[in-house]
Amino acid sequence: MRKILIFILLSFVIFAFSLLSTAQDFPESSAQINPVRDKSLNGVKVLFSPQDNCAQEIVSSIDNAKSYVYVAMFYFTSRPIAQALVKAKDRGIDVKVCLDKEQPHYEYTKSKFLENKGINIKLIGGSGIMHNKFCIIDDYIIITGSYNWTVSADLKNDENLLIIESKEIARIYKEQFNKFWNGTFIDTCKYKDKNRLEKVPVATGVTLPIAKPSYKGKYVGSKNSNKFHYPDCKWAQRIKSKNQVWFNNRQEAIDKGYIPCKVCNP
């Protein structure tokens, strides 16, 4: 009889504990989860633009930085985020920004603004474009996703953004960032698997004649930059027609304060 009583008591204790641990696994009942605000799951915040105000989330993460903010970004035009970085630097936070080497050619880029405000910038070139979009804060927070730090990413494009709290992942990202920063990152082109490249389907068949566009001058620059190009330079092609400034010769461009593009060497 006593044995049965002890057995029942033990079973009850085990049952009670199992209930408790289940409760710890799911601390929020579904009724408590706010579908809009509570997107934080196991230390990962999942956000989508344009609906989730990603820029504001990034700004508040930067505002809360205690020791450093390291950024590797392909395209950076966001004014509020650039201002948050400057504010962080001014309160003594170590701010470093890696951008793709072609970044100064882009319209609306914040690379000059950041440089003028004393932010440490490195332009990264290699086999391809530096297409990363990540930020590490204080050995603890990683911000990454398809989201470039641009106005378009925030207001127009469909992008995703993760804000991850993890010392381990931060360590891995910081290692990669340091390779960029110290110039020790490996040109991955040398390591590309040739067999894999051969498997990439190559378009065959009809080649459409490319219509030669007519240009309004021999060289072109942008109202938002001081570089001038041959009109067929890939950077010239990115200049919106409303921002184009045309020149008939080099001297005309130089006289107007423009300098030759380093890519097309006009």
What residue ranges bind Zn ion (CB under 5 A)? 229, 233, 235, 261, 263-264
Nearest distance from C-beta of residue 130 to Zn ion, angstroms: 18
- Shortest Cβ contact with Zn ion: which residue? 261
- 148, 133 in Cβ contact below 8 A? yes
Q: Give the CB-side neighbour count of residue 30, counting CA atoms within 13 A.
A: 0
Assign 3-state DSSP to the chain and report helix, strand, coil percentages, each to 5.
35, 20, 40
Nearest distance from C-beta of residue 236 to Zn ion, angstroms: 6
Rounded CA separation 20/154 (Å): 42
Nearest distance from C-beta of residue 261 to Zn ion, angstroms: 3
Closer residue to Zn ion in complex, CB, 84/233: 233
Closer residue to Zn ion in complex, CB, 105/133: 105
Q: Which helix (H) or strand (E) holds 115?
A: helix 111-116
Nearest distance from C-beta of residue 125 to Zn ion, angstroms: 15
Residue 147's closest CA among 164, 165, 159? Answer: 159
Q: Which parts of 82-174 are beta strand (E)? A: 94-100, 120-124, 133-137, 141-145, 159-165
Closer residue to Zn ion in complex, CB, 100/159: 100
Closer residue to Zn ion in complex, CB, 11/237: 237
Rounded CA separation 7/19 (Å): 18
Nearest distance from C-beta of residue 214 to Zn ion, angstroms: 19
Closer residue to Zn ion in complex, CB, 46/264: 264
Residue 231: DSSP 8-state: T
